[in-house]
């Protein structure tokens, strides 16, 4: 029986990974023969053929249900299907070691998941044989009416799909089948049996839970813990599976799906590990490179175009492409999603020189690897204007395939639409792409069999979320009426309210929601939507109560309302309740941190913003706020580590770079601070900088030169110790670490990365500083503050003549301001004049005579406002000292 059960698992696993045709070889026929040859599985052969080769999963579902029938007969008839299944799973799943029972659970769970995924991921729409109630589908009894099916779906969504206070988005089809699969995988341990070993059970569990997570409004901490644990378990178990039986692509697909889980939860490093393993198993690598070609219709000369080139090592999956890759009359047409998109002047695919040399025939699993790599690269980069151009080659790598997998091409089309939406010249094309996807998802062709490969391996949003994204794109294109129809059809209440508000039809939105509440008075999502329309907090309170105090969105809405009313103490309470239900909400932690800041609780704010950066490492604002709090507390090392991440994500913010320079100087990273100053000097808005960082730079350099040592420079390359720096961001409840930094502050010698002043490298540092100062001087940032800093620099390097010029420029710049009624400005003029005289006397005294008349003029102008002032008398003494020196 073991061989037959393994054959069942392999057939199911490979059918959703490899393209149609793999089973026609000797391997597929052999597996079916094994199933037929075992008395306990011979009834499954026909079901497996229908499921794997025709995408008809109902027979498989019924075959599994038949094995559970004895247990189901003893349940209370008044219970719902999910309650019956849960009750027998709690008893049979933990205690019964009957192989047939466990196989029944497995088949029901897998068939249910495939039915739900086919209806809500790839399309086409489910056929007439499927019932919303899985129990009726299994019994072949009378079908539910449309009204009964809608009522059952609402009840299932409210009672069985909520996790950590998060509800599903929109209105998924056949949600009862997802509930069926989730109950079985959560309550039945399919791996613990002396007679039955189901190696792929954790893999199917991962697929079910991940799909459930994608449907939720926010990420769930409960699902995250279970999914990450299951992914690591799968990674370990894959090593023991026979690649010759399961297939190289099938095992690589498991690694890709685990990578997708990690990407969902922003676990970038873990995702990279899984992606590398998948590439190694497939023997496939890829690189972005440049090839000469043309991108636009009117382009005459070929220029370098970015392309993604795939490479296959010997023995990789690419070497296994055989007759099943041959084109046939039933193959997918190449342009099924590209028709009508060539109206723009930017070509759909760049025309490359020697294009045939850069094309590779990729299997569906390899195309999935390209797309998961695309997601990884986009998540690891800061969003910039050129990011869409850098990401498009990955989509084009799929489009160039002679016969791309249907589902892979749908995902590539969606990515292309997202990237093209960011560019004015292709924005209309992005909408056309989305419209074609909407159309294809509703058409019966290409059929489910062609869409099935990659349904779990390729990242594509469930249809409720896809239609929400489509509606949001319509709004962005000012097609609010069309978006309203989409949102109402798929019950996206929050977005629907936005449409009505844009159309100034709030009353109609309120009436629509009230009508729905009359049908479903216990739906907390509708109560929250009503609160959004009426701005009445009591609606959110009612949503909280109707959900049994489990609807996190209700508390989030109450918190947002409190923040709008500047009641931050109440907002803190609401955010804490919402985050206690579901802590995987970066925006919630950010708002909580802001509320703590407004309440003056800096320690709690630090913990909140740290949590944001852990959940969403690409949140530049969170890194910035974290750094600001550390700078306020003068914990400079942690501030600098946070600012490294903030500047990586927002490279055009001069405020971030200014703080970066200050924090870097305060903790001794002078060379990195010089790089930051170079970035500021290159910006158009550099005139807004206070230049206090330049003063601080001169303080540090002067101190190092005076003390005669760089303080133990390591001269590490920029960014080499990012992980080291990030490790100090762990926030402790005690202030021990803060105290340590204070001990090493002003009273102690600052260790820097500067070389020893006696070394040859020191001259290079001085030249770098001068180069930066000259760059600032050549911009609109030039002011009396900059001339003062440059004067200090020339004093430092011993160039009295140049220092004299800078002090003179500072003096003249100060005199051009309205200083006669400003005591502080007058004091600055006095200090500048003293330095100017000192520099003049240190030189050859040329120009001393003209300087004497210059100072007399200042004294005369200042007499009206500052006669008898200490500064006035000090300036008179400076003039007398100059006159004596001249005589």
The pLDDT score that the predictor gives to residue 259 is: 96
Which two three-digit tokens encode residue 261? 């889980």
What is the pLDDT at residue 869? 78
Nearest to 134 by CA among 177, 175, 73: 177
Cβ-based neighbour number of residue 875 at 10 Å: 24
Better pLDDT: 604 or 814? 604
- Is there a single domain that holds both residue 289 and residue 302? yes
Among 183, 199, 217, where does a domain finish?
A: 217
- Total domains in the fold of the chain: 5
In angstroms, the Cα distances linking 295 to 56, 102, 291, 429, 541 are: 43, 57, 11, 15, 56
Sheet of strand 346-352, all strands in order from the earlier edge strand to the far edge: 303-312, 284-296, 346-352
Task: Provide the pLDDT for residue 710.
Answer: 58
Q: Distance of alpha carbon 818 from its chain centroid, rounded? A: 51
Q: Are residues 228 and 199 in the same domain?
A: no
Is the pLDDT higher at 370 or at 152? 370
Which residue(s) pair with 198 in the sheet?
none
Place of tokens 């914990």: 635
Q: What are the distances in angstroms from CA 162 to CA 190, 429, 547? A: 24, 37, 10
Contact 678, 695 (CB under 8 A): no
- Mean pLDDT over 415-431 rounds to 88
Helix (H) or strand (E) holding 736: helix 736-743
Q: What is the pLDDT of residue 553?
A: 94
Which residues neighbour 465 within 8 Å (Cβ) at sequence distance 6 or greater?
A: 169, 170, 214, 215
Q: How many CB atoms lie within 10 A of CB 297?
A: 11
**DSSP states of 414-442:** HHHHHHHTTSGGGHHHHHHHHHHHHHHHH
Read off the DSSP letter of residue 783. S
Least confident piece of the model among 76-90, 426-440, 610-624, 850-864:
76-90
φ, ψ dihedrals at 304, nearest 5°: -65, 125
Q: What is the DSSP secondary structure assignment for residue 385, as one 8-state letter?
A: T
What is the spatial distance between Cα 659 and Cα 171, in angstroms, rounded to a whole number?
Answer: 47
Predicted pLDDT of residue 768: 92
Residue 603 clears pLDDT 90, i.e. is over it: yes
| pLDDT higher than 90, residue 559 | yes
In a domain, 87, yes or no: yes
- Average model confidence (pLDDT) for the chain? 84
Vertex 595 angle, CA 591 and 598, to 5°: 140
Give the per-residue pLDDT at 355.
Answer: 59
pLDDT tens sequence across 756-799: 888 888 989 999 999 999 988 887 767 888 888 999 999 888 88
Which 8-state DSSP code applies to residue 216?
B
Residue 849 binned pLDDT confidence (cut-offs 50, 70, 90): confident
* Distance separating alpha carbons of residues 227 and 207, to the nearest angstrom: 9
Task: Look at residues 666, 655, 740 and name the one whose alpha carbon lies nearest to residue 690.
Answer: 655
pLDDT-derived band at 359 (thresholds 50, 70, 90) equals low
Cα separations (Å) of 7 from 54, 353, 677?
Answer: 18, 47, 64
DSSP bridge partners of 352:
293
Does residue 184 sit in the same domain as residue 261?
A: no
Claim to verify: residue 287 and residue 264 sit in the same structural domain: no
Which helix or strand (DSSP H or E) is residue 309 part of? strand 303-312
Tokens 């010759």 correspond to what residue? 244
Q: Please say whether the beta carbons of 609 and 625 come within 8 A.
A: yes
pLDDT tens string 90-118: 765 544 557 788 889 999 999 999 999 99
Distance from C-alpha of 286 to C-alpha of 163, rounded to nearest angstrom = 38
Rounded Cα–Cα distance for residues 496 and 517 (Å): 15
Q: Is 402 a residue whose pLDDT tops 70?
A: no
Residue 106 lies in a domain: yes
**Cα dist from 380 to 229, 269, 271, whole Å:** 23, 10, 11
What is the full DSSP assignment across 699-720?
HHHHHHHHHT--SS---PPTTT
Domain co-membership, 224 together with 296: no
Q: What is the pLDDT of residue 218?
A: 92
Contacts 24+ apart (CB under 8 A), 197-200: 197/2, 197/5, 198/5, 198/9, 198/102, 198/103, 198/106, 199/6, 199/9, 199/237, 199/241, 200/9, 200/12, 200/13
Rounded Cα distance between 370 and 359, Å, is: 14
The alpha carbon torsion through 320, 57, 256, 317 (nearest 10 deg) reads 0
d(CA 641, CA 769): 23
Q: Is residue 695 one of the residues assigned to a domain?
A: no
In contact, 671 and 753? CB cutoff 8 Å: yes
Same domain (yes/no): 213, 66? yes
> Can you give the pLDDT at residue 97?
56
3-state secondary structure of 163: strand
| Predicted pLDDT at 323 | 43
Check whether residue 117 and residue 194 sit in a common domain: yes
Tokens of 698: 């001169």
The verdict on 120 and 232 lying in the same domain is no
What length is written for the chain?
A: 887
pLDDT at 533: 93
Nearest to 748 by CA among 636, 603, 630: 636
**What contacts 589, CB < 8 A, 6 or more positions away?**
579, 583, 608, 609, 611, 612, 615
The Cα angle at residue 450 between residues 448 and 455, in degrees rounded to 5 = 75
Residue where a domain stops, chosen among 54, 78, 95: 54
pLDDT at 731 over 70: no
Residue pLDDT, tens place only, 15-70: 898 876 555 454 667 888 888 888 888 889 899 888 888 888 889 999 998 888 88
Buried b (16+ CB within 10 A) or exposed e, 452-466: bbbbbbbbbbbbbbb
Summarize pLDDT for 195-242 with one digit per residue, the tens: 677 889 999 999 999 999 999 999 999 999 999 999 999 988 888 888
Q: Which residue has the higher pLDDT, 142 or 701?
A: 701
* Cβ atoms 689, 601 nearer than 8 A: no
863 lies in some domain = yes
Residue 444 inside a domain? The answer is no
Q: What is the pLDDT of residues 466-504, one digit of tens each?
A: 999 999 999 999 999 999 999 999 899 989 999 998 999
Q: Is 292 helix (H, G, I), strand (E, B) or coil?
A: strand
Give the three-state DSSP class for 133. Answer: coil
Residue 62 sits in the same domain as residue 208: yes
**794 with 803: CB under 8 angstroms?**
yes
Q: How far apart are CA 2 and CA 17, in angstroms?
A: 23
- Specify the CATH number for the domain of residue 862: 1.25.40
Whether residues 210 and 62 share a domain: the answer is yes
- For residues 667 and 655, give the distance between their C-alpha atoms in angstroms, rounded to a whole number: 19
Q: How far is CA 870 from CA 305, 713, 743, 875, in A?
A: 69, 45, 38, 9
Q: How far is residue 766's CA from residue 792's CA, in Å, rounded to a whole number?
A: 12
Single out the residue of 619, 629, 623, 620 nearest to residue 598, CA to CA: 629
Per-residue pLDDT band for 339 (boundaries 50, 70, 90) equals low
Place of tokens 């009117």: 298
- Please determine, for residue 377, whether its predicted confidence score (pLDDT) is greater than 60: yes
Listed range (137-141, 399-403, 653-657, 878-882) with the worst mean pLDDT: 137-141
Residues 116, 11 share a domain: no
Q: Is 138 part of a structural domain of the chain?
A: yes
Answer whether residue 849 is part of any domain. Answer: yes
Tokens describing residue 172: 């998924």
Instruction: Give the whole-angstrom CA distance, residue 870 versus residue 501.
Output: 65
Please tell me what DSSP assigns to residue 323: G
Range of the domain at 271: 219-279
Is residue 530 included in any domain, yes or no?
A: no
Distance CA 363, CA 343 (A): 30
For residues 49 and 61, state if they share a domain.
Answer: no
Phi and psi based region of residue 403 (left: phi greater than 0; alpha: psi -120 to 50; beta: remaining): beta
Q: Calculate the dihedral angle through the C-alpha atoms of 693, 697, 698, 701, rounding to the nearest 10 degrees.
A: 170
In which element (H, E) is residue 591 found? helix 586-599
Max distance between CA atoms of the chain, in angstroms, equals 121
Q: Which of 232, 248, 266, 279 is nearest to 373 (CA)?
A: 279
- How far apart CA 191 and CA 212 sit, in angstroms, is 21
Residue where a domain terminates, one of 424, 459, 478: 424
With contact defined as beta carbons under 8 Å apart, do 592 and 572 qualify? yes
Q: Which helix (H) or strand (E) holds 312?
A: strand 303-312
Half-sphere exposure of 463 (CA within 13 A, CB side): 27
């Amino acid at each position: 029986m073991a061989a037959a059960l393994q054959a069942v698992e392999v057939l199911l696993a490979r059918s959703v990974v490899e393209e149609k045709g793999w089973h026609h070889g000797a391997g597929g026929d052999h597996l079916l023969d094994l199933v037929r040859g075992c008395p306990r599985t011979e009834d499954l052969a026909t079901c497996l053929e229908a499921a794997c080769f025709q995408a008809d999963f109902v027979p498989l579902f019924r075959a599994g249900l038949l094995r559970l029938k004895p247990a189901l007969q003893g349940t209370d008839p008044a219970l719902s299907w999910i309650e019956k299944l849960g009750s027998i799973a709690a008893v049979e799943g933990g205690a019964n070691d009957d192989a047939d029972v466990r196989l029944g659970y497995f088949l029901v769970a897998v068939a249910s998941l495939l039915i739900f995924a086919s209806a809500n991921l790839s399309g086409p729409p489910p056929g007439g044989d499927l019932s919303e109630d899985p129990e009726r589908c299994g019994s072949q009894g009378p079908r539910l009416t449309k009204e009964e099916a809608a009522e059952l779906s609402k009840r299932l969504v409210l009672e069985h799909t909520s996790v950590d206070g998060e509800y599903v988005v929109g209105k998924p089809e056949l949600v009862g089948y997802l509930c069926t699969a989730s109950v079985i995988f959560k309550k039945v341990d399919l791996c613990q049996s002396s007679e039955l070993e189901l190696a792929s059970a954790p893999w199917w569990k991962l697929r079910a839970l991940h799909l459930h997570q994608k449907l939720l409004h926010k990420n769930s901490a409960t699902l995250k813990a279970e999914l990450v644990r299951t992914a690591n378990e799968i990674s370990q178990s894959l090593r023991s599976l026979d690649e010759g039986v399961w297939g190289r692509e099938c095992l690589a697909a498991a690694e890709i799906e685990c990578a997708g889980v990690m990407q969902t939860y922003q676990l970038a490093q873990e995702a990279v590990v899984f992606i590398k393993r998948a590439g190694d198993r497939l023997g496939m690598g890829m690189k972005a490179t440049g090839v000469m070609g043309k991108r636009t219709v009117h382009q005459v000369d070929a220029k370098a175009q970015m392309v993604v080139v795939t490479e296959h090592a010997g023995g990789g999956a690419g070497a296994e492409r055989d007759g099943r890759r041959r084109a046939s009359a039933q193959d997918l047409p190449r342009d099924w999603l590209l028709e009508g998109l060539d109206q723009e002047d930017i070509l759909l695919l760049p025309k490359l020189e020697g294009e045939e040399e850069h094309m590779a025939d990729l299997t569906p699993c390899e195309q999935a690897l390209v797309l998961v790599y695309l997601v990884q690269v986009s998540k690891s980069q800061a969003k910039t204007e050129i990011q869409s151009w850098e990401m498009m080659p990955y989509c084009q790598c799929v489009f160039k395939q002679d016969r791309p997998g249907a589902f892979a091409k749908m995902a590539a089309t969606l990515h292309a639409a997202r990237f093209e939406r960011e560019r004015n010249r292709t924005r209309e094309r992005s909408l056309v792409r989305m419209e074609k996807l909407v159309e294809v998802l509703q058409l019966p062709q290409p059929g489910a069999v062609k869409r099935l490969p990659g349904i779990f391996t390729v990242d594509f949003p469930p249809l409720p979320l896809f239609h929400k994204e489509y509606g949001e794109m319509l709004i962005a294109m000012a097609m609010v009426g069309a978006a309203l129809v989409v949102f109402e059809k798929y019950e996206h209440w929050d977005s629907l309210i936005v449409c009505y508000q844009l159309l100034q039809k709030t009353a109609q939105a309120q009436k629509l929601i009230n009508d729905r509440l009359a049908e479903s008075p216990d739906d907390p999502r509708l109560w929250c939507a009503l609160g959004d329309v009426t701005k009445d907090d009591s609606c959110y309170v009612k949503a909280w109560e109707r959900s049994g105090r489990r609807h996190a969105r209700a508390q989030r809405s109450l918190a947002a309302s409190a923040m709008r009313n500047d009641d931050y103490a109440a907002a803190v309470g609401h955010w804490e309740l919402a985050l206690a239900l579901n802590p995987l909400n970066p925006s919630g932690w950010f708002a909580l941190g802001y509320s703590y800041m407004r309440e003056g609780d800096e320690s709690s704010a630090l913990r909140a913003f740290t949590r944001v950066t852990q959940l969403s490492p690409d949140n530049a604002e969170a890194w910035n706020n974290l750094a600001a709090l550390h700078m306020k507390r003068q914990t400079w090392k942690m501030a600098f580590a946070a600012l490294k991440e903030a500047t990586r994500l927002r490279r055009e913010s001069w405020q971030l770079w200014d703080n970066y320079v200050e924090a870097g100087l305060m903790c001794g990273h002078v060379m990195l601070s010089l790089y930051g100053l170079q970035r500021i000097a290159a910006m158009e808005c550099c005139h807004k900088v206070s230049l206090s960082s330049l003063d601080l730079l001169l303080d540090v350099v002067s101190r190092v030169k005076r003390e005669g040592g760089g303080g133990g420079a390591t001269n590490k390359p920029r960014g080499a110790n990012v992980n080291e720096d990030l490790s100090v961001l762990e926030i402790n409840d005690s202030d021990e670490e803060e105290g340590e930094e204070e001990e090493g502050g002003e009273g102690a010698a600052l260790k820097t990365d500067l070389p020893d002043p006696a070394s040859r490298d020191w001259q290079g540092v001085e030249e770098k500083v001068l180069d930066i100062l000259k760059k600032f001087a050549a911009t609109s940032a030039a002011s009396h503050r900059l001339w003062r800093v440059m004067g200090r620099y020339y004093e430092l390097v011993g160039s009295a003549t140049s220092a004299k010029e800078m002090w003179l420029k500072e003096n003249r710049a100060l005199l051009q301001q309205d200083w006669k009624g400003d005591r502080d400005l007058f004091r600055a003029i006095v200090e500048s004049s003293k330095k100017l005289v000192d520099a003049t006397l240190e030189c050859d005294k040329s120009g001393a005579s003209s300087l004497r008349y210059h100072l007399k003029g200042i004294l005369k102008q200042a007499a009206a406002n500052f006669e008898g002032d200490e500064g006035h008398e000090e300036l008179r003494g400076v003039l007398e000292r100059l006159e004596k020196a001249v005589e």
